[in-house]
Amino acid sequence: MLNCGRCKVNIDGDKIVCPLCQGELTGIATQDSYPDLPKPKYGKNFLLRLISFVAVAIIIVSLALNLMVRSDVWWSLFVIGGVVSAWITATVGISYRRKLFTNITWQLVIVSVFAVIWDVSTLWRGWSIDYVIPISCLVSMLSMVILSKIMKIPAREYLIYLVLDAVYGVTPIIFYFTGVLGVVYPSLICVTCSLISIFAILFFQGKSIRAEITRRFHL
Amino acid sequence: MYGSIEWSRLDNAAKIFPSTGGKTDTNVFRFYCELKEEVMPEFLKPALDATIDSFPGFSCVLKKGLFWYYLERANIEHEVYEETGEVCGMIYEDSSSPLFRLYYYRKRISLEIYHAMTDGAGALVFLKTIIYNYLKIARCELFGDFCEQLDVDASFTEKDSDSFSKYYKKRKHKKEPKPPKAYHIKQKLREDGMLLAIEGIASTSQVLKVAREHNASMTVFLAAALIAAIRKDMPLQCETKSVVINIPVNLRKMFPSETTRNFFGMISADYNFSERSDDFSEIINKTTDDFSRGLDKDSLSARISKLTGFEKKPFVRIAPLVLKNIVLRIARRLDDSKATTVLSNVGKVEMPPKMAEHVEMFGVLASTREMQLCVCSFEDKLQMGFTSAFNGTDIQKNFFRELTSRGIELEIRSNDDAKRKDKEGVADA
């Protein structure tokens, strides 16, 4: 065993200097009772930083190009809008990558909001509420059901998200009755499916959904 | 599973942990058991599975509700890992992370556990059961069918119960005297964001003898040595501030409980070097006084009621979790600022005699934002484990020299990386 003459202690392992006073050691080195320290994790969130950097770079280049090639249209604003939307979607997707169903729910919200913003800022044609909201709602509900079956996830893990999604899927009924819809079929199909899902969950999974609500909302 | 409850609220002490925490302050602590022979990892996993069967409460995840965090039973596969050299690294990342990790390295089996789930006493029962099951499986030729039982006698609901609520009683709170201004260790933080562990291993009887010579208990003696060690590192201009040492106490001894959840209180000892002398015996006397005042059953019970009473207030209960997180974060900072360091003495660890023959020692380490000392003993091996977020090692050096100068023999272990690069000629321990 190693020995530090100044601290008057025995030292375990194969240290070069005394862990206490950093002084010289005498004696025979043995195997250390601790393995080597791992490399510090600087690489954390590298993907997020890469995506953010690429987004910023695209914005700068498109602004510069817009200024160089004179045109009457500020087309770079559309590029920026697209980049920002993609960046937010990707960031949310990456940070919730380990929670599949939370992720799907958030993506649904993001897609709906962005679609409406784009629609409004490009002379409202109504495609966001006619198609995007009902279709994305249906897709997310369907993907939750399929994914949970494939990955054999127990009901209590995803039911609350499915319910949120289905409740959200009923809202297009408001658009229908206020008469803002141009095309009614996607919205009506979405509302029908959502209502059926809600009642299916209530009849067959009522107990577990109540239990989940008690857990999540306990005071 | 066995009719046990599927989810549970966090106990009073646990509520602070998920909301707080940082790079080195991961709210994780480690218990390890060093065996006399190399660990055989292939037997460790079955031992862990068998242990979880008798402690189903440990197989859970931490989830966010709208108002509080809660623990939910989960059927996750718990793996065993080889140690990496990092101690008390992050465990709780999100609602899918298991709340403990089991490691092995050479002769050592280490359990790292998230503090929201249990405290030192609970974790120790869990680790002892793992060791018990491991020895039973790995050394079946020695133990056969006959095996002395561990001294664990508690039903699932007893293990899972919140003892803070059990001993909570509504009472008027006396105004506490203003705590002294605490000195904070002034050193640079380590760059890699990992904790530096330095452990000293001594003979229990030798340390106890020296402590008795000073008319002090083991914990008081070590606390006094720690105060003296910090004193030597203190700049003159900080002398008006007190060295304050927080000491967690296991409440199960005074308030009977079989819970494996958190059930600890906190007492503190302080010493002001501008008002008192540097004499070691005076430090011991003052610390002994602070201990007996803190360990008074009535004042401990008052503290339980005060903290539990707070969490039961209606306006606290209906505040959304996001808001609670902010408030708890600030409260933790304020509480931390009242103490210089923490000394946690887990005390004597016991194993059934036949199993004890195969165990060399037990040890304990805890995560911290600054520096912490944890102590535990097994037979004649006393382990004192410093964890520190700082680069410097002066306080650890002062502390251990404080012991060696009184004739105590020490072995030092550390996870620092000042090691020989060429491993040739390194003898097998």
Q: Do B282 and B349 reside in the same domain of the chain?
A: yes
> How far, in Å, CA of B15 to CA of B312, rounded?
12
State residue B2's pLDDT score.
35
Closest residue in chain A to residue B86, using alpha carbons only: A37
Q: Is it the case that residue B1 has pLDDT exceeding 50?
A: no
Chain B residues with CB under 8 Å of A1 CB are 411
Q: Do B221 and B107 reside in the same domain of the chain?
A: no
Confidence label for B9 from pLDDT (cuts 50, 70 and 90): confident
> How far, in Å, CA of B363 to CA of B365, rounded?
7
Q: Does any domain span residue A8?
A: yes
Point out the residue among A10, A30, A99 whose CB comes nearest to the CB of B412: A10
State residue B151's pLDDT score.
61
Question: Among B383, B412, B416, which would you mutate to test the A interface (most chain A Cβ atoms within 10 Å of its Cβ)?
Answer: B412
Residue pLDDT, tens place only, A191-214: 999 999 999 988 988 888 888 888
Q: Does any domain span residue A110?
A: no
Q: Does any domain span residue A66?
A: no
Q: Is it the case that residue B5 has pLDDT exceeding 60?
A: no
Confidence label for B108 from pLDDT (cuts 50, 70 and 90): very high
State residue A123's pLDDT score.
86
Amino acid at B61: V
- The alpha carbon of B396 is separated from its chain's Cα centroid by a whole number of angstroms, namely 18
> Per the structure, how many domains does chain B have?
2
- Cβ of B424 under 8 Å from any chain A Cβ? no
Confidence label for B426 from pLDDT (cuts 50, 70 and 90): low
Question: In Å, how far are B18, B266, B333, B337 from B327, measured between CA atoms?
Answer: 13, 21, 10, 15
Which of B121, B142, B163 corresponds to the end of one domain?
Answer: B142
Q: How far off is chain A from B390, nearest CA to CA, in Å?
A: 13
Q: Do B106 and A33 touch (CB under 8 A)?
A: yes
- Of residues B418 and B215, more confidence is placed in B215
Closest residue in chain B to residue A30, using alpha carbons only: B427
- Cβ of A17 under 8 Å from any chain B Cβ? yes
Q: Does any domain span residue B398?
A: yes
- Residue B298: enclosing H or E segment and its boundaries? helix B297-311
Q: Does any domain span residue B422?
A: no
Q: Do B111 and B210 reside in the same domain of the chain?
A: no
Helical residues (DSSP H) of B186-264, grouped into ranges: 204-213, 218-232
State residue B428's pLDDT score.
54
Q: Is it the case that residue A182 has pLDDT exceeding 90?
A: no
- Cβ of A14 under 8 Å from any chain B Cβ? yes
Least confident of A43-52, B332-341, B350-359: A43-52
Q: Does any domain span residue A136?
A: yes
- Cβ of B38 under 8 Å from any chain A Cβ? no
Report angle CA B134, B138, B142 to the nearest 5 degrees.
110
Question: In Å, how far are B22, B85, B88, B194, B236 from B191, measured between CA atoms?
Answer: 14, 16, 17, 8, 27
Q: How many CB pairs under 8 A join A and B?
A: 137
Q: Do B242 and B366 reside in the same domain of the chain?
A: yes
- The alpha carbon of A98 is separated from its chain's Cα centroid by a whole number of angstroms, namely 9
Q: Does any domain span residue A116?
A: no
State residue B3's pLDDT score.
37
Other Cβ atoms less than 10 A from the Cβ of A153: the count is 14
Q: Do B63 and A215 touch (CB under 8 A)?
A: yes
CATH of the domain at B115: 3.30.559.10
Residue pLDDT, tens place only, B13-52: 888 888 887 777 899 999 999 999 999 999 999 999 999 9
> How far, in Å, CA of A30 to CA of A12, rounded?
7
Residue pLDDT, tens place only, B313-322: 888 888 888 8
Which of B142, B163, B179 corresponds to the end of one domain?
Answer: B142
Q: What is the mean pLDDT of chain B?
A: 87
- Cβ of A33 under 8 Å from any chain B Cβ? yes
Q: Do B404 and A9 touch (CB under 8 A)?
A: yes
Residue pLDDT, tens place only, A47-60: 889 999 999 999 99
Closest residue in chain B to residue A97, using alpha carbons only: B94
Q: Do B286 and B403 reside in the same domain of the chain?
A: yes
The ipTM assigned to this model is: 0.84
Q: Which domain holds residue B226?
A: 196-414
Q: Do B97 and B19 reside in the same domain of the chain?
A: yes
Q: Do B210 and B138 reside in the same domain of the chain?
A: no
> How far, in Å, CA of B247 to CA of B66, rounded?
33
State residue B152's pLDDT score.
65
Q: Do B232 and B121 reside in the same domain of the chain?
A: no
Q: Does any domain span residue A55?
A: no
Q: What average pLDDT does the segment B60-87 reach?
A: 89
Q: Does any domain span residue A3?
A: yes
Q: Contact, A47 vs A94, CB < 8 A? A: yes
State residue B32's pLDDT score.
95
CATH of the domain at B242: 3.30.559.30
Point out the residue among B95, B318, B400 whose CB comes nearest to the CB of A20: B400
Residue pLDDT, tens place only, A108-165: 999 999 999 999 988 888 899 999 999 999 999 999 999 989 988 877 778 889 999 9
Percent with pLDDT over 90 in chain B: 46
Q: Do B211 and B135 reside in the same domain of the chain?
A: no
- The alpha carbon of B150 is separated from its chain's Cα centroid by a whole number of angstroms, namely 22
Q: Does any domain span residue B172?
A: no
Q: Does any domain span residue B73?
A: yes
Closest to A147 (Cα-Cα) out of A130, A131, A165: A165
Q: Do B263 and B408 reside in the same domain of the chain?
A: yes
Residue pLDDT, tens place only, B169-217: 777 766 777 888 999 998 899 888 899 999 999 999 999 999 999 999 9
- Cβ of A215 under 8 Å from any chain B Cβ? yes
Q: Do B102 and B222 reside in the same domain of the chain?
A: no
Q: What average pLDDT does the segment A18-45 reach?
A: 84
Q: Which domain holds residue A7?
A: 1-36
State residue B104's pLDDT score.
95
Which of B142, B168, B184 corresponds to the end of one domain?
Answer: B142
Residue pLDDT, tens place only, B353-406: 888 999 999 999 999 999 999 999 999 999 999 999 999 999 999 999 999 999
- Cβ of A77 under 8 Å from any chain B Cβ? no
Q: How far off is chain A from B83, nearest CA to CA, in Å?
A: 7
Enter the pTM of the model. Answer: 0.85
Least confident of A78-87, A181-190, B4-13, B293-302: B4-13
DSSP string, chain A: -EEETTTTEEE-S-BSS-TTT----EE--B--SSPPPPPP-TTTTHHHHHHHHHHHHHHHHHHHHHHHS--SS-THHHHHHHHHHHHHHHHHHHHTTT-HHHHHHHHHHHHHHHHHHHHHHTT--SHIIIIIHHHHHHHHHHHHHHHHHHTT--HHHHHHHHHHHHHHHHTHHHHHHHT--S--HHHHHHHHHHHHHHHHHHHHHHHHHHHHHHHHT--
Q: Does any domain span residue B214?
A: yes
> Per the structure, how many domains does chain A have?
2
Q: Does any domain span residue B382?
A: yes
Q: Do B204 and B137 reside in the same domain of the chain?
A: no
- Cβ of B412 under 8 Å from any chain A Cβ? yes
State residue B12's pLDDT score.
83
